[in-house]
Amino acid sequence: MPDYSLTPAAPLAGTDITIADTRLVAPADLAVVSVALPLGAENAAEAAIKAVYGVALPEVGKSRLAKDGARLVRLGSDFAFVIFTHPTPDAERVVAGRLKGAVYTTDQTDVWVALDLSGANARRALERICPIDLHPDAFGIGDSARTVMEHLGTLIIRTGDNTYRLMSGSSSAGSFRHAIETSLSNIA
Amino acid sequence: MSQINRISGGQIDRAQEVKFTFNGKWMRGHPGDTLASALLANGQRLVGRSFKYHRPRGIFTAGSEEPNALVELRKGAHQEPNTRATVTELFDGLHANSQNHRGSLEHDLMAVTDFLSPFLSAGFYYKTFMWPRAFWEKLYEPIIRKSAGLGRLSMQEDPDIYDKGYLHCDLLVIGAGPAGLMAALAAGRSGARVILADEDFTLGGRLNSETLEVGGMPGARWAKEALVELAAMGNVRLMARTTVYGAYDHGVYGALERCTDHLATSGGKPRQILWRVTSKRAVLAAGATERPIAFGNNDRPGVMLAGSVRSYANRYGVTPGQQVAVFTNNDDGWRTAADLVAKGVHVPAIIDVRDAPAVCDVPGARHIRNAGVVDTVGRKGLKSVTLTDGQMIPVDCLAVSGGWNPNVHLTCHQRGRPTWRDDISAFVPGRDLPPGMAVAGAANGAMTLAAALAEGRAVANAQIEALGFKPGKADLPRAEDEPRDCVPYWHVRESTKRGWLDLQNDVTVKDVKQSHREGFRSVEHLKRYTTLGMATDQGKTANIPALAIMAECTGKTIPETGTTIFRPPYTPVPIGALGGRSRGRDFRPYRLTPSHVWAKNNGATFVEVGNWLRAQWFARPGEKGWRDSVDREVLATRKSVGICDVTTLGKIDVQGRDAAAFLNKVYANGFAKLAVGRVRYGLMLREDGIAYDDGTTARMSENHFVMTTTTANAVLVFRRLEFARQCLWPDMDVHLISTTDGWAQFAVAGPNARNLLRKVVDAAHDISNEAFPFMACGEVTVCNGTPARLFRISFSGELAYEVAVPARYGNAMMDVLMQAGQEFDATPYGTEALGVMRIEKGHAAGNELNGQTTAHNLGMGRMVSQTKECIGNVLSQRPEMLREDAVKLVGFRPVDRDRGLIAGSHFITKGDAASMDNDQGWMSSVAYSPSLGHSVGLGFIKNGDTRMGEIVRAVSPVHGTEMEVEIVSAHFIDPAGERPRA
Amino acid sequence: MIINHPLLGPRDAAEFVYLGDAALIERPDWQARDAAEAFYEYGYLRDNPAGKHAELWYHEQGDRSWLVVTRDTTTHEITSVEMARDVARAKGRSK
C-alpha cells in the first residue's frame, strides 16, 4: 500500500500585510470548537467549563481568556466557542475529552478562518464594513459580536486596545480578506 | 475672461489662482470659490438651458437648492451630468460644460420649443402624441427620447470607486450653521458622542454669508473658533461635504460624504462614502431656503435669490451684477441691498411689495413701496425690470426675496406633516417628528440669529439630558435678533407674462392655474400633472409658492392645501454611491470548494452555484465542447471510478438527547429508529405538504447526527430547523451547528470506488461490503491518521462513497484520490456529469423539488408518515394533493432516439390538440445519456406510474418543437438498484 | 431599523431575517379531531393589522435566535422584543 499523506493548506495561511499602519495577520494553527450546553444541564456544563478552563463562561457577547490561553466566546444563551492554538485536526476530541460529556462539542476549526487586525487605524478601517459600534465605550476589550460584513457572516472579538480578531467562513476566505484589505487601502 | 465681478472680502484665497474651463473657455477663480461664484466673477451669466422650453438660464441660488445651474463636470469616463455649479468646489483644471442645448449654449436650436409653449403647457404629454397611433413608434417616441433628459452620461464605466460605512453616535447634528454649531458645542462639552455633518465644504452655514456678529466678532470668525474647539474634542466628529439625505427608522440616517469631488483626481481613494449613521438622538439644524416671487419672465439670467446674492458678495467676494435691484416682501431682502452697497455695488432700487417704511438706510437706493416687478428684459441676461407702475429700471441683476422656508424635509421622512405658521408665512416641522429627532434654528422657524443660537443650545441640552448626560456649560454668545418681518406674497398678479415657479421643470403660474381649471385639486395630483417639484432639485425653491397659488385658486388656505410628501434623498445620491463596493467581481462574495486550486490546475470550467464556484467539467486536450468532457466523465465513472467535490451540500451537526426525536419531526419519513452507523435518505416537507428539501442524515452516535441538505437550501434548512427547535418544540434537547465549510467532501463513485478507497482509508478500518454496506457511515482515518468520515451513499447510482476530511486537507485529498486512482483511470467529474448521472438514475433534484410538487407527485407518498408528528404531514393529506390523476415523476425517452428532449416541454396525449386544457404534465430535467446513447428525461405526467410504455407528445411552444416520447421508469440505469449495494 | 435584542442589545435589521406573524409559534395539535382545518388556518390565514403586530425575526447574522418582535406596522415602532423560545414556552409548547 502506497504511503499517502495529506498536507494541510489553510485558506489564508501566511497572510501578513500592513496597510495604513495597520497589520492584518492570519493566526497560525487556530482551533475552534463549539460547545453546546445541554438543555436542563446548563449549570453542570458551566461548572465543568469553569473547572477545566479556570474561568467561568462569560455572558453572551463577551469572551474570556482561560488560564491556558484558550478564549471562551459566548455566542448565544446555550452555545459558545473555545478558540485555542492547536495544530492537529483533533481539537474537538481534546475539548470533548476535557469536558467529559458535560457539553456537546463540534469541531469548527475548518469552518472558520481568522484574521487579526491591529494598529491605530484598525477601528477606522472596520467602520467601512462593520455595522457594530466599535467605540471603546461601547465595545470593550473581550467583547464579541457575530454580525455581517460585506455580505459575510463574521465574528468580531476585540482582543486589545487596537486589536481585533475577525472570523468568517473558510469557503469565502478570499472575499473576506479582500473586504478587509479594501477597507484598509480605502483609508490609507 | 477676467474676473470683472470680483469685489472685496470673502473667504477665498486671493493669493492663489485656480484655472478652469467653461464650455472650453479658460477662466480663473480662487480656492474657496464654487464653480458658480467663479462663473459669476468672470461675468458668465448664461450657464444653461431649461428643460422644456430651452430658455436661457443663469445661476439662481448659492446652495444645494439650485434649480438652474446644472452642468456637466469633468471629461471622458469621469464626466458627470446634472451637477449643481453652486455646490461644486472649484479646483485647478476643472472642466465644466453647460447642458441641454443643441448647438451652442448661446444659440440653442431647441429654443424653438419656447415659441411652441402654448402647445406644451401643463399635462401636454397626456394630451398630445395620442394619435395617429401609428406615429407613436416611428415619430413621437424618437423625438421625445431625443429631447428628454438634461445632461449626457459618459456611456463608459464609472472609473471611480465608492465605499460605505457605519457610524454611531449619541447625537447627530445635521447642519453646521449657528444652531447646529451651538448644539454641537453644548453636546460636545457634555461628553456625548457627537457627529456634526454639513453639506457645505466650509462649516458655519449662513454665518459665512452674513455680516452679522456673534460674541462680538464677525459670525464667520465665531464659527471658525467654534469649529476649532469642536475639532479638538475626541468625542466630536466633524463631517464637512456630508449631506444627511434621509431619516430612516429608529434613529438611522443616511449620509453621503463627498471625499474627492473637490480634487482633480480621486487618487484611487473612494470618491464618495455612503454612511449609515445610527444615532440615539438627532438635532436637525438644516436652516432655511429662500423662495422666489413669481412674475413675468422671472427666469432670466440675472434674476437671483436675494440671500444668495448676499452669499456671493459676503462669502465669495463676487457681485452677480453691477446694478443690482432688490425685490422683496420681507425685511431680509433689505440686508442684501445694505451689504452690497457696503461693498460698493450700486443698488438702484429696493422694490418692496409692502407699504412700509424703509427697514434700514441703504445709501443710493430708491425705496419703491407697494410695488412689484411685472416683467423683465434681456433674453440671455437681465437688462431691465418693469414695475407695476410701468417704470423700467435698468439692472443686470435682480435679487428677489419671497421669504424663507424652514428646511423641514427630514422631519417628514417618516410621514410627518409640517404645520403652517402665519407669522413667518412658512411651514415649520410638525409634532410627529421621526423618533429621536428635535429641530433647532431656522429649520424650526427660529429665523433670527440670536434665536437660532439659543434654540440650538436648548434643544441639544434637552436631547443629551434624555440620554443621561449632564448638560455642559456652553455660554450663549451675544448676537442680535435681526428684523425678519415678512408678508405673504407669492406672485405679482398684475403680471401678464409667464411667471416661473419651477425653473428646472419649466412650470409656470399659468400651468398651476390651468391644472386647477382642469380639475386637479390635490397637491399630489398637481405635482404629477404639471411635474412641479419633480426635477432633480425636488422643487426646493418652487413648491411653496406653487402651493400658495393652488390655495388661491381653490379658495383654501395654504395649510388646508397641504404639502406633497417629502421623501429621501434630500439631494441626489449617485447610484455609484448606493452601489458602494458591490460592483463587478466584488458584487458578492465567492465561496470556493476545498479542491478549487486542484480543479483550477486541472482544466476545470467553473459555474456559479449561489455564491459557490463549482467545477462544471474538466476539459481535456482534444475535446471540442463541453459535451465531450461531460460524456467522458460519465462513462469513466460508470466504467471504473469518478471523483467529485460535493462539499457545497449543506452539512448540519445535530446533537442532543432529543436529536433523533427532533429529526423525526422535521423529516416526513421516520428517523427515530435509524441505527448508529447508518445513513438514511430524508425528505422534508413544507408545512403545506409541498416537498421542500432532501438529503441524507447519518447517525454518528446515539445523540449525534450529521445532516446534509441541498446546496441551494443549506441556509434555509438551517433556519427552519432553528425555528422548529426554538419556536415549535422549545424544550427538546437538540443543538444545531453548520459544518458545511469544515469538511471537504468527495463523492467517489463507480465500480472501482471501494478499490480506490482501500488505498486511502487506513487499513484499520474495514470497508468491505459486509463490514461497511450500502448506507453505512462511520469515522475513519485516511492517509495515515488524518481523521475522516465515510458515508456509503450514492447519487450517481453506482457503488459510491462520500469521504469527508477537514477542509484544510481537501485540496491534498483530491490530489491523493487521483494519484491512488491512477491505476483505475480515476476521473474527476463536475456538476454537469453529476447532473447527467442523477437523471440517468432517476433521482429528484431542484428541478423536481420546485415548490409545486408533493411527495405523492415524486412517487414518495408512502414515505410520509402519518403515525408521528412531523412538519407537513397533516396538510399533505389534503384530497386535492392525493388525487388519483395527480402527476407522477417518471422517465421519458424520445421515440426517435436521435432527437434531444427539451426541458419545459408539456405532455399531450396522442391525438389531443396541444392546448392548456389537454396539458398532462411537464418535462423537468433532460440530459444526453452517454450510457444509453440517447436523450433521457424526467418529468411529471398525470397517472405516470400507470402509463409505462405509452407514447405521448412533448410539446414546447416556446422552442416551437414537438416530438413523441415514451413513458418509462425514471431509473434508466440499474433499475433493480444492485450497483450501489455491490 | 434597529432591533433591541434581549441578550445582545440594539442590532441593525440587516442582521435579521423576517418571517412574519408570530402566530406561527402556535402550531396546532396534529392529533386533534379538527387537525386538518386547524393546520389549514395555521398555514394560510394571517392577521394583517395596521398597528401593533407580533412577528418573528431570526437573528441569522448573530446568535441564531428567533425573536418575537412587537412592531407597529404603521410607524415601525418596536415596543417589545422577546426570545421566541421563551414565548413558545409561555404558550405551553414545552412538551
At B237-277, the pLDDT tens digits run 999 999 999 999 999 999 999 999 999 999 999 999 999 99
Closest CA to B677 of B702, B652, B660: B702
Verify cis geometry, omega within 30 degrees of 0, for the bond prior to B569.
Answer: yes
User: Chains near A, with 3+ CB pairs < 8 A?
Assistant: B, C
Whether residues A4 and B163 touch (CB distance < 8 A) is answered with no
Closest CA to A126 of C8, B243, B167: B167
CA distances from A111 to A104, B340, B594 (A): 17, 70, 11
At B127-144, the pLDDT tens digits run 766 667 777 778 777 877
Size of interface A-B (CB pairs under 8 A): 152
Sequence length of chain A is: 188
Interfacial C residues in 36-95 facing B (CB < 8 Å): 36, 39-40, 42-44, 56, 58, 60, 64-66, 75-78, 83-85, 87-89, 93-95
* Phi and psi based region of residue A126 (left: phi greater than 0; alpha: psi -120 to 50; beta: remaining): alpha
Question: Cell 452697497 appears where?
Answer: B341
User: CA-nearest residue of chain C to B868?
Assistant: C30
Q: Does B589 touch chain A (CB under 8 A)?
A: yes
Nearest-angstrom CA–CA distance, B178 and B285: 8
CB atoms within 10 A of CB B660: 19
Whether residues A6 and B816 touch (CB distance < 8 A) is answered with yes
Instruction: State the nearest Cα–Cα gap between B48 and chain A, in angstroms.
Output: 36
User: CA-nearest residue of chain C to A62?
Assistant: C8
At B745-759, the pLDDT tens digits run 999 999 999 999 999
Q: Does A185 touch chain C (CB under 8 A)?
A: no
Q: Does B232 touch chain A (CB under 8 A)?
A: no
- At residue B138, the pLDDT reads 80
Whether residues B166 and A138 touch (CB distance < 8 A) is answered with no
Question: Cell 431619516 appears where?
Answer: B247
Of the given ranges (B98-107, B407-416, B655-664, C53-62), which has the lowest mean pLDDT?
Answer: B98-107
At C45-81, the pLDDT tens digits run 998 999 999 999 999 999 999 999 999 999 999 999 9
Return the percentage of chain B with pLDDT > 70, whole number: 99
User: CA-nearest residue of chain B to A133?
Assistant: B168
If you average pLDDT over residues A95-112, what whole number do you get? 97
Alpha helix stretches (DSSP H) within B260-350: 306-316, 332-342
Instruction: State the nearest Cα–Cα gap between A144 and chain C, in angstroms.
Output: 10
- At residue B633, the pLDDT reads 98
Nearest-angstrom CA–CA distance, B116 and B956: 53
**Cell numbers at B206, concatenated:** 449662513
Q: Does A50 touch chain C (CB under 8 A)?
A: no
ipTM: 0.99
Task: Report the amino acid identity of residue B180.
Answer: G
Q: Does A147 touch chain C (CB under 8 A)?
A: yes
**Contact in structure between B537 and B65 (CB atoms under 8 Å):** yes
Nearest-angstrom CA–CA distance, B273 and B299: 35
**Cell numbers at A148, concatenated:** 455581517
Whether residues C36 and B722 touch (CB distance < 8 A) is answered with no
- ∠ CA B109-B111-B117 to the nearest 5 degrees? 140
Closest CA to B824 of B642, B644, B645, B604: B642
Q: Does B250 touch chain C (CB under 8 A)?
A: yes
- At residue B104, the pLDDT reads 87
User: CA-nearest residue of chain B to A87?
Assistant: B808
Nearest-angstrom CA–CA distance, B968 and B893: 7
User: CA-nearest residue of chain B to A170?
Assistant: B741
CA distances from B498 to B114, B298, B503, B507 (A): 11, 8, 12, 10
Chain A residue numbers touching C7 (CB-CB < 8 A) = 60-61, 76-77
Nearest-angstrom CA–CA distance, B233 and B636: 72
Does the pLDDT at position B720 exceed 80? yes
With a CB cutoff of 8 Å and minimum separation 6, the contacts of B399 are: B304, B305, B306, B308, B309, B310, B320, B324, B325, B326, B327, B328, B333, B336, B337
At B809-867, the pLDDT tens digits run 999 999 999 999 999 999 999 999 999 999 999 999 999 999 999 999 999 999 999 99
CB atoms within 10 A of CB B375: 20
β-strands B366-368, C78-83 pairing: unpaired
Does the pLDDT at position B390 exceed 70? yes
User: Chains near C, with 3+ CB pairs < 8 A?
Assistant: A, B
Task: Report the amino acid identity of residue B648.
Answer: T
Q: Does B779 touch chain A (CB under 8 A)?
A: no
Describe the strand order of the beta sheet including C78-83 as a list of residue ranges: C17-21, C52-58, C66-72, C78-83
Mutation site for A-interface testing, chosen from C5, C15, C82 by largest number of A Cβ within 10 Å: C15
CB atoms within 10 A of CB B229: 16
Question: Cell 395555521 appears where?
Answer: C42
Chain C residue numbers touching A147 (CB-CB < 8 A) = 11-12, 15, 61-62
The partner residue sitting opposite B727, judged by closest CB among C43, C88, C94, is C88
Verify cis geometry, omega within 30 degrees of 0, for the bond prior to B132.
Answer: yes
Closest CA to B61 of B30, B32, B92, B40: B40
At B599-653, the pLDDT tens digits run 999 999 999 999 999 999 999 999 999 999 999 999 999 999 999 999 999 999 9
**Contact in structure between A107 and B805 (CB atoms under 8 Å):** no
Instruction: State the nearest Cα–Cα gap between C51 and chain B, in angstroms.
Output: 15
Return the percentage of chain A with pLDDT > 70, whole number: 99
**Contact in structure between B21 and B94 (CB atoms under 8 Å):** yes
Whether residues B727 and C85 touch (CB distance < 8 A) is answered with yes
* Helix, strand, coil fractions of chain A, as percent rounded to 5: 25, 35, 40
Whether residues C88 and B723 touch (CB distance < 8 A) is answered with no
The partner residue sitting opposite C63, judged by closest CB among A75, A131, A148, is A75
Whether residues A78 and B782 touch (CB distance < 8 A) is answered with no
CA distances from B696 to B487, B741, B794, B800 (A): 79, 17, 10, 14
Question: Where are any strands of DSSP class E within B212-323?
Answer: 213-214, 217-218, 236-239, 242-247, 252-258, 272-284, 288-290, 303-305
Q: Tell whether the torsion through CA atoms of B121, B127, B132 and B133 is positive or negative.
A: positive
Closest CA to B482 of B342, B335, B609: B335
If you average pLDDT over residues A135-159, what whole number do you get? 97
- At residue B113, the pLDDT reads 78
B908 forms beta bridges with: B919, B953
B928 forms beta bridges with: B935
**pLDDT band (50, 70, 90) for residue A1:** low
User: CA-nearest residue of chain A to B164?
Assistant: A128
Nearest-angstrom CA–CA distance, B690 and B697: 20
Interfacial B residues in 701-720 facing C (CB < 8 Å): 715, 719
**Contact in structure between B438 and B282 (CB atoms under 8 Å):** yes
Q: Does B163 touch chain A (CB under 8 A)?
A: yes
DSSP class of B540: T
Instruction: State the nearest Cα–Cα gap between B865 and chain A, in angstroms.
Output: 28
Q: Does B809 touch chain A (CB under 8 A)?
A: yes
Q: Tell whether the torsion through CA atoms of B819, B820, B822 and B825 is positive or negative.
A: negative
DSSP class of B728: I
Instruction: State the nearest Cα–Cα gap between B705 and chain A, in angstroms.
Output: 11
Instruction: Say whether B274 sits in a helix, a strand or coil.
Output: strand
Half-sphere exposure of B352 (CA within 13 A, CB side): 24
User: CA-nearest residue of chain A to C14?
Assistant: A148
Alpha helix stretches (DSSP H) within B111-176: 112-115, 124-127, 135, 141-147
Maximal CA-CA distance, chain B: 113
Radius of gyration of the CA atoms of chain A, in A: 17
At B331-381, the pLDDT tens digits run 999 999 999 999 999 999 999 999 999 999 999 999 999 999 999 999 999
- ∠ CA B412-B416-B420 to the nearest 5 degrees? 90
The partner residue sitting opposite B168, judged by closest CB among A89, A135, A175, is A135
**pLDDT band (50, 70, 90) for residue C33:** very high
- At residue B111, the pLDDT reads 79
Nearest-angstrom CA–CA distance, B62 and B10: 14
Closest CA to B73 of B23, B37, B107: B23
- At residue B1, the pLDDT reads 57
Q: Does B759 touch chain A (CB under 8 A)?
A: yes
With a CB cutoff of 8 Å and minimum separation 6, the contacts of B960 are: none
* Mean pLDDT of all residues belonging to chain B: 95
User: CA-nearest residue of chain B to A34?
Assistant: B737
- Give me the phi and psi of C9, to 5 degrees please: 85, -170
Instruction: Say whether B877 sits in a helix, a strand or coil.
Output: helix
Burial class (CB in 10 A: 0-12, 13-18, 19+), B468: exposed
**Contact in structure between C24 and C43 (CB atoms under 8 Å):** no
Q: Does B435 touch chain C (CB under 8 A)?
A: yes
